[in-house]
Amino acid sequence: MKRAAVYTRVSTVDQHPEMQLNDLRQMAAQRGYEIVAEYTDKISGTKARRLGLDQMMTDARRGRFDVVLVWASDRIARSVKHFLDVLDELNRTGVEYVSFRENIDTGGPLGRAIIIIVGAVAELERNLIVERVRAGMRRARLDGQRIGRTPLVLDSAAIQQDRQRGLSIRQIAREHSVSTATVQRVLHRHAPTTQEHAA
C-alpha cells in the first residue's frame, strides 16, 4: 500500500479546504492509498513562502510518503516555473504526483513522459541561469571590473626575515594576515635562501 500525502490550499482564511479534502480522500480510498499526512495552506497562490507546502517538501525529502495528492496543479504552485521546480524535486526524491482535476499521475506512462519533459525544462532553466551568470562575468571583465577575490600580495622577504628572527609560523601568519599554510608554503619555496642566510 502506497503512503500518500494530501496537499490543499485555499486563497483566503474564510475559505475552507473541505471540498478538496473530500475529493482527495475518496481518490486515495479508490486507489488503495494510505493517507499518512495532510497539509493545508490558507494563503494566496502568489506567495513564495507557504508553511504547509514547505513542510510537505521537507517530509518528501525525508521519505515520509510515496505519492502526493493535490486537487489541482494551481493549488500547489504559484507559477509555471514553481510548478516545474516542485515536480522536478518530487521526482528526484522518488515521490509520485497526482492531480485530481487535471488527471495527471506521474506514476503512469503518460506521467513519466511528463516528468521527462519537466526534467528537461528544469535542466534547460538551470543551464540558462549559468549562462546568464557567465555572460555577466564576461561583460564585467570587459568593463574592467575584477571578478572573484583580490589576489593575495605576499612579502616573501619579510616572512623569511620574521622566521629568522625566531617568530613561530602562527605568529608570522597573524602578523601578515595569512594562513599558517601560506607561511609554510613561502618558507618551503625559499628554503635554500633561508639555509644560505643561516650559514
The stretch 111-134 carries a mean pLDDT of 75
Q: What pLDDT was estimated at residue 69? A: 96
Q: What pLDDT was estimated at residue 196? A: 46
Of residues 58 and 166, the one with the higher pLDDT is 58
Q: Binning pLDDT at 50, 70 and 90, where does residue 194 land?
A: very low
- Give 11's DSSP letter: S
Highest-confidence range of 36-50, 68-82, 142-156, 161-175, by mean pLDDT? 161-175
Place of cell 594576515: 177
Q: How many CB atoms neighbour CB 61 within 10 A?
A: 13
Q: What pLDDT was estimated at residue 77? A: 76
What are 121-130's pLDDT values in tens digits? 767 777 888 8
Position 41 pLDDT exceeds 80: yes
CA angle 90, 28, 97 (to 5 degrees): 15
Q: What pLDDT was estimated at residue 98? A: 92
Helix intervals (H) in the chain: 18-31, 51-61, 73-76, 80-92, 109-142, 156-164, 169-176, 180-189, 191-198
Position 199 pLDDT exceeds 50: no
Q: What pLDDT was estimated at residue 13? A: 59
Is 11 tagged catalytic?
yes
Position 178 pLDDT exceeds 70: yes
Q: What pLDDT was estimated at residue 73? A: 82
Q: What pLDDT was estimated at residue 46? A: 59
Measured in Å, how far apart are the chain's first and last C-alpha atoms?
81
The stretch 19-48 carries a mean pLDDT of 88
Mean pLDDT of the chain: 82
- Give 199's DSSP letter: -
The stretch 74-96 carries a mean pLDDT of 84
Of residues 163 and 110, the one with the higher pLDDT is 163
**Among 11, 73, 99, 179, which one carries the catalytic annotation?**
11
Q: Which of 185, 186, 183 has the alpha carbon at shortest distance from 174?
A: 183
Of residues 26 and 110, the one with the higher pLDDT is 26
Position 197 pLDDT exceeds 60: no
